[in-house]
Amino acid sequence: MAYIRSKKPSGCVFCKDSIRDHDLVLYEGKTAFVMMNRYPYITGHLMIIPFRHVSKLEDMTSEEKKELFDLTDISVRVLKEGMKPEGFNIGMNLGKAAGAGVDDHIHIHVVPRWNGDTNSLSVIGEVRVISEDLTATWELLLPYFKKYQQEV
């Protein structure tokens, strides 16, 4: 509710200067960062976002593309260690027609999955049930990301 009632930042919500909750950021690389999704599909839903405001794969540098994939790999490792999911959904929605909520700043979703974790609420009621507070999930995952930051 605090976010809903608050004044929203102008500009792109994924550009680093616009990110309001720096505590949702888990890892900062050279060209991209990992943050928790403020409106997760399920607990542990992460996003990998380039620092540079770019909307098309073909406009990204080789370094940006490589780091996005490297951070996807690290995110999967962290979630495996910290949350023990049984699977993952990983993807990008490129353009509004593909379902992109923010279509002008490319990003990758990493969603941990467990057998039996879905229900009809998301489909029928347009409601999502999150079993853990974002701050608690952030606190759980941060030490794992710090471990991998030291290895890079």
Catalytic residue positions, numbered: 107
- How far apart (Å, rounded) are the C-alpha atoms in residues 138 and 121? 25
Q: With contact defined as beta carbons under 8 Å apart, do 149 and 83 qualify? A: no
Q: Are 109 and 76 in contact (CB under 8 A)?
A: no
Contacts of 61 (CB under 8 A, 6+ apart): 31
